[in-house]
Amino acid sequence: MNLLALTPDGSSKHCCSGLTKAVAPACFLLVLTVLLAMIGGSGARAEAVPAAAPQLVAYDMRVAGDEIRTRVVIEFEQKPEFSFHLLASPHRMVVDLPETLFGIDDDVARSRGLLSDIRFGLMAPGRSRIVFSAIGPMKPEMAKVIENGAGGGFRMVFDLVAISNTEFDTLMHEQQWSGSTPRSGKSGRLAKSEPEAKKRFTVAIDPGHGGIDAGARGRNGLQEKDLTLEISQTLKGILADYADIRVVMTREDDRFVSLAERVRIARQYEADLFVSIHADSIRLRGVRGASVYTLSDKASDKMAQQLAASENRSDLIAGLSLEDEPDGVADILIDLTRRETHLFSAGMARSVVDSFEGNIKLINNPIRSAGFRVLRAHDVPSVLVELGYLSNVEDEKLLRDPKWREKTAVLLASAIDSFRRKTRSVNN
Ligand SMILES: [Zn+2]
């Protein structure tokens, strides 16, 4: 109630100029030094200084979360009045404050989750600003000031969530917010509107692993991350011939992409389908063949459970910490209530198996489910395809074979197209 007079001004384009990471603490120290010098002769204590003291002091900032949801908490000594607005190219959120002294440590994680940078400083006499730069379109789902308990002071809390390009554009145009939440896009995605119906069917192809996370390794040395990238690129090439299908890739080269970032990319481009490509390894070396997984809170079987646990380790391999993620497994469970997405995911799994049947060897009961973090977009039907097992020598031989790869990519493309036709005929 105390905030959010959003200013849709174009005047803030140069908001970053003059602000540097080092300015705020340096400024704080400088002012302190001046204050101490002023009072040094009299032996008075700092708090005895009269009205010259700054009106607003921000003394701490914490950032937590992942590429889907990031929380920023800023501690103030006094209650801050503030307004904020969004800026595009690059995606930013600007928070305007009365003149503020920033005594925030330099070691605050300024690039974490959705944020690539945070800058703050003086804009003009009487006006300070914080600029949050993001890795993609986002919006504050919550923005409020909360009075601290016994310790005193106030904290400003922003919950930033990843959104689609379309929703960001809409928010940019509206720039009207009320209360502590934006007016539109309750679920982090715009309601299905007419642009969606006209939009080309978009599939996000997700080559599993990458960079520091090599994934499984075949007994003869084939690396999962290379195989998934190559097949994904072949698939992309094949889908380019389908006039009604647009492809978005979560990675195009050998780089690490966190599981949350993969989901975020799919949602940024409003993917109608997310297909994660893998070829893992399991202890049972005799097991071979392809399988397709969907998200579920309870694993369909032990093998699916172990596979999900192994896939979910991807972020840990790269040294990411999951401990302070605001949305954990609990969110996956909530998301599962999105029955429609779940049914569509199951439909896609069926499409893949139908397409593979008789052409590609499948494991027994090839449609399985478990708690795969990469399948957690609640509004994008998502499947994870295991093309085979690198732990099996014969499978590895096939997975190396360019002809087999091409054939598999063609069959996957046909499964995607068949899913597209089914869902489009339901929606239109
Ligand atoms: Zn994998």
Query: How many Å lie between the centroid of ligand 1 and the Cα of residue 209?
Result: 6
Quote the pLDDT of residue 54: 52
Domain boundaries along the sequence of the chain: 23-182, 194-427
Query: How many angstroms is it from 80 CA to the middle of ligand 1?
Result: 47
Cα gap 352→7, rounded to integer Å: 49
Ligand 1 centroid–CA 278 distance in Å is 4
Amino acid at 66: D
Class in CATH terms, 23-182: mainly beta
Q: Which helix (H) or strand (E) is 236 found in, with range?
A: helix 224-239
DSSP letter at 300? Answer: S
pLDDT of 317: 79
**How far, in Å, is the centroid of ligand 1 from the Cα of 234?**
18
CA distance 251 to 256: 8
Per DSSP (E only), the strands in 318-380 are 362-370
Instruction: Provide the 3-class DSSP secondary structure of residue 427.
Output: helix
Angle between helices 402-427 and 393-400 (to 10 degrees): 80
Report the SS3 class of residue 408.
Answer: helix
Strands 115-124 and 127-134: antiparallel
Report residues of the chain scoring pLDDT below 50: 1-50, 53, 177-194, 196-197, 324-330, 332-333, 336
Distance 314 CA to ligand 1 centre (A): 8
CATH number of this structure's domain 194-427 = 3.40.630.40
| Rounded-to-10 torsion of CA 410, 411, 412, 413 | 50
Ligand 1 centroid distance, CA of 85 (Å): 40
232 Cα to the center of ligand 1, angstroms: 13
Which pLDDT value is given to residue 301? 92
Measured distance CA(156)–CA(4) in Å, rounded: 12
pTM, rounded to two decimals: 0.74
**pLDDT on residue 427:** 55
State the distance from the centre of ligand 1 to the C-alpha of 296, rounded, in angstroms. 17
Check residue 426 and give its pLDDT.
60
Q: How high is the pLDDT of residue 210?
A: 95
CA of 224 from ligand 1 middle (Å) equals 7
Alpha carbon of 65 to ligand 1 centroid (Å): 23
For ligand 1, a single-atom ion, the residues with CB < 5 A are: 208, 215, 278, 280
229 C-alpha to ligand 1 centroid (Å):
11
